[in-house]
Amino acid sequence: MATSPTVTLNNGVEIPQLGFGVFKVKPTETVSAVTTALRVGYRHIDTAEMYGNEKEVGLAITASGLDRDDVFVTSKLNNSHHPYSDALAAFDRTLSDLGLEYVDLFLIHWPLPAVGDFVETWRALESVYRDDRARAIGVSNFHADHLRRLLDETELVPAVNQIEAHPYLTQEPLRAFNASHGIKNEAWSPLARGRVLDDPTIKDVVDRTGRTAAQVVLRWHIQLGNIVFPKSVRLDRIEENFNIFDFELSGEDMAAISKLDRGERTGPDPDTFNYVPD
């Protein structure tokens, strides 16, 4: 069975570079999708309280019969729980919903700069890390100025920053900022939810390599060093997206895909996204 290479986080923890994302996977489809992904060889699942499927992710992991240590599980703190004690309580619920004693990675889902103080939220994540209930902690959707506040005002450097990134939004400056602080880049919506797959430049690379457009784009991420977790509910695509470790893109193809950057987001801008669910 194929396996994903791993990336070493700033505390020595290893994370599989290719994982499986479950945003917009309905609870009724989640056990089946995660079970399929684990069968195919994925050993890294990216979920969140906001996705409403932590329980089903946990059920699929338990039912897989795999050792807990062999599956890397990420979840994220929902936007309504930024105050310190709320964050601790929400973390407890996440562990309980997943049916796990610890998560491998726990993230602040969005910085919500206009709503609250993510520095206080980060201190709650530091606490669960110190209690060994999260093997690593990090952030998601943080811009450099948000990260600078954490770097200046708190003790632990985030292990990752999970940001939207794909050929239409390469995030070069933020990726470089993260890297310069030892923060690994995780790319969400690595396929831009499918929008990049018909691009003529990607099609050229498809013609040259004989691989699919999704494989080309995921391979581009892997060679850039991004950690990715494409989502699919289809067995054929779950397999296709995992089979990217037996070919390599040339320097020219890598550069051509990176040149597609046009600053185009599929999701909201973290500076103005301040949605807090009831």
Ligand X SMILES: NC(=O)c1ccc[n+]([C@@H]2O[C@H](COP(=O)([O-])OP(=O)(O)OC[C@H]3O[C@@H](n4cnc5c(N)ncnc54)[C@H](OP(=O)(O)O)[C@@H]3O)[C@@H](O)[C@H]2O)c1
Q: Which of 51, 84, 129, 275 is catalytic?
A: 51
Output the residue with the shortest Cβ distance to ligand X. 21
Which positions from 237 to 256 touch ligand X by CB under 6 A, shown as an x/- string? x--xx---------------
Q: How many angstroms separate the CA atoms of 164 and 185, rounded?
A: 10
Part of the chain binding ligand X (CB under 6 A), chosen from 21-29, 88-96, 175-183, 246-254: 21-29
- Between 45 and 65, name the residue whose CB sits nearer to ligand X: 45
CB of 74 to ligand X, least distance (A): 8
94 part of the interface to ligand X, by CB under 6 A = no
Judge whether 168 counts as a catalytic residue: no
Neighbouring C-beta atoms of residue 246, cutoff 10 Å: 9
Token pair belonging to 264: 């185009």
- What number of chain residues touch ligand X (CB under 6 A)? 27
Distance of closest approach, residue 105 Cβ to ligand X, in angstroms: 12
Q: Which stretch binds ligand X (CB under 6 A): 34-42, 93-101, 111-119, 236-244?
A: 236-244
In the set 91, 142, 168, 188, which binds ligand X (CB under 6 A)?
A: 188
Q: Is 171 in the site for ligand X (CB under 6 A)?
A: no
Among 189, 206, 216, 249, binds ligand X (CB under 6 A): 189
AA identity, residue 15 = I
Q: Which is nearer to ligand X, 128 or 202 (CB)?
A: 202
Binding to ligand X in span 206-235, by CB under 6 A: 214, 229-234
C-alpha span between 122 and 130 (Å, rounded): 12
| Cβ partners under 8 Å of residue 117, min gap 6 | 82
Within positions 123 to 162, which residues make up the interface with ligand X, using CB under 6 A?
140-141, 162
Closest CB 37 distance from ligand X, rounded Å: 11
Cβ-contact 238, 40 below 8 angstroms: yes
Which residues participate in catalysis according to the annotation?
51
Q: Residues in the site for ligand X, rule: CB under 6 A?
A: 21-23, 46, 109, 140-141, 162, 188-194, 197, 214, 229-234, 237, 240-241, 267
